[in-house]
Amino acid sequence: MVFNTLTFAGFFLCVLLVHSLPLPWTFRKVNLLLASYVFYSAWNPPFVVLLWISTVVDWYAAQGLVRSERPAARHAWMLLSVVANLGMLLYFKYGNFLLANLTAAVNAAGLDYHPPKMDIVLPVGISFYTFATMSYTLDVYLRRAEPARNFLDYALFVTFFPHLVAGPIMRPTELVPQFEKPRRATARMLAFGLGLMTLGLFNKVVLADTLLSGAVERVFDAKSAPGMLDAWVGTLAFSSQIFCDFAGYSTTAIGAAMCLGFAMPDNFRFPYAAVGFSDFWRRWHITLSSWLRDYLYIPLGGNRHGAARTYAALMTTMLLGGLWHGANWTFVAWGGLHGSYLAGERVLRKRFHGYRPSPWALVGLGLLTYLLVDVTWVFFRAKDFPRAWHMLTGMAGGNSAAKPLLETPFIVITAAVVLGLLTVHWAMRRRTLESVVARTPAVVLGGAWSLMLFLIVISQGTGNAFIYFQF
């Protein structure tokens, strides 16, 4: 089920009504659990089985970890969880990709090998919920967390529909304690939660789908190479589209959880105001980047074993982080570029240790960060490397004979949205939405809210899936 659909509106209303009834807390949690399974199976019912497998395996693995004293046994329980989750992920997400690459490698070695196509359907949200359940066993293994006291709380942590299919990727310590005591939103929480949902849907439906997607598709999916203006407009449009799409999802999810009385963590912190790439990754998809840091980068050694090991861990983490996004080498390139940026920044920080940029230098460095991040988005969006090179060549002014692709309105509207977004991000660089809302007159808040509602309605979104669903 997708947030920006009538189906979700009807579903959410029903869930909210039942959750608000004066019923025992266990009954209301069962309502949330069943609703979450309905939410998931509304896309493709059979795949709910995978969700159950992931849930049950990690529940028993964590129980085994608690019972076991011997390190070898604990290690085995942890490995069971990791192998089961990564195995599912490997098969469903990377099965076709691995087979295609294996075939290419074998053929390159001179053997004529053509296996039948597997046609594996990617279960929506598998990358998100496998990471969430793995964090449960890993936290218990690392003795950072106690296992959940009962299966219902744990199953609800895995399945809770606001975060289930596209995050924020929750940790057990963030959510399981919230299920231990009865929770119901206050009237203010309900209203603010609805406000967050409106803001999230405005980002998705109006900005990402309505105002930006057309320019992105016309440039990235064109059969001809783009000129400089088109390549830059298409890339900048995508940089804003992916933010509005994904941050819109996260904001809607956070708002939905708040309407039910639960708190979910921030997933974005105005990332296009980042100065430097480590700052960017503290602001972009925070729950993924911190997951990769805690369960991959640090176990790989982090920065505790000298420069060479640090850079190797950094690059490995970013390459795998890239691959997490999709089974395509372009995503690996995207991760590799970010890894290189982070490594380069680390070198520069050591070289210019103690440097404090002036306000204008800060703006300049922020813009440089933004432009370099934009270059990485080319690999993220392009279907293959030839198209990515076409785009990069166009951005560098190398396609001088290219025919214009975009009509005037696409260029003007993209420019307006991108400039607006950058201004907002920069203005909010050291603020939170809540702190700004707290200081804004009620009349302005009401006006902005109504305008967002109106624009969502007249945009006539057709329930396009969120981009991150494919990951």
Partner 1 sequence: MRSSTSNSERPNSERLTAADRPGEAQPVPERPVPDRPFGRILLAAAAIAAVLIGGWEWHWRSLGVAPDYRDDEALWAIQRRRIDQGEGDATVLIGASRTFFDVQLPVWEKIAGRRPIQLSLDGTSPLGIVEDLADDPRFTGRLLIGIAPDIFFTGFEFEDGRPRFTHQESPSQRVGKWLSMHTIEPAFAFYDGDFALFTVLRRQSWPDRPGRPRMLHVRRIQLVEADRNSYMWDRVETDAAYRDLVRRTWAQNFDPKPTDPKELAEIARTRDEQIDRMTRAIAKLRARGVFVVFVREMSAGDYLKFEKETFPREETWDALLAKTGAPGIFYADYPQLSNFDLPDWSHMSKSSAERYTAELVDLLRQKYPQAGSW
- Any idea which residues carry the catalytic annotation? 325
CB atoms within 10 A of CB 383: 11
Question: Contacting partner 1 (CB under 8 A), which of 67, 75, 305, 403?
Answer: 403
Which residue, 105 or 305, has its beta carbon nearer to partner 1? 305
Q: Which two tokens stand for residue 23?
A: 């019923």
Candidate residues 174, 234, 366, 394; the one interacting with partner 1 per rule CB under 8 A: 174
294 contributes a contact to partner 1 by CB under 8 A: yes
Structure token pair of residue 360: 């204008």
CA separation for the pair 167, 127 (Å, rounded): 10
Is residue 293 at the binding interface for partner 1, with CB under 8 A as the rule? yes
Residue 43 sits in the site that holds partner 1 (CB under 8 A):
yes
Question: Which residue stretch of 24-32, 155-163, 232-240, 445-453 sits at the interface with partner 1 (rule: CB under 8 A)?
Answer: 445-453
Q: Judge whether 137 and 65 are in contact, CB under 8 Å.
A: yes
Minimum separation from the CB atom of position 385 to partner 1 (A):
26
Query: Is-contact 287 170, C-beta < 8 A?
Result: yes
Among 407, 423, 424, 470, binds partner 1 (CB under 8 A): 407
Cβ distance to partner 1 smaller for residue 109 or 462: 462
CB of 411 to partner 1, least distance (A): 7
Interaction between residue 144 and partner 1 (CB under 8 A): yes
Q: Is 406 in the site for partner 1 (CB under 8 A)?
A: yes
The contact mask relative to partner 1 for 336-375 (x = CB under 8 A, - = no) is: ----------------------------------------
Q: Does 6 bind partner 1 (CB under 8 A)?
A: yes
Does 335 interact with partner 1 (rule: CB under 8 A)? no
Q: Which stretch binds partner 1 (CB under 8 A): 67-75, 149-157, 182-190, 385-393?
A: 182-190
| 415 interacts with partner 1 by CB under 8 A | no
Picking from 166, 164, 182, 169, the residue whose alpha carbon sits closest to that of residue 136 is 169
* Nearest-approach distance from CB 453 to partner 1, in angstroms: 4
10 near partner 1, rule: CB under 8 A: yes
Q: Does 184 interact with partner 1 (rule: CB under 8 A)?
A: no
Under the criterion CB under 8 A, does residue 139 sit at the interface with partner 1? yes
Which DSSP state fits 352? Answer: T
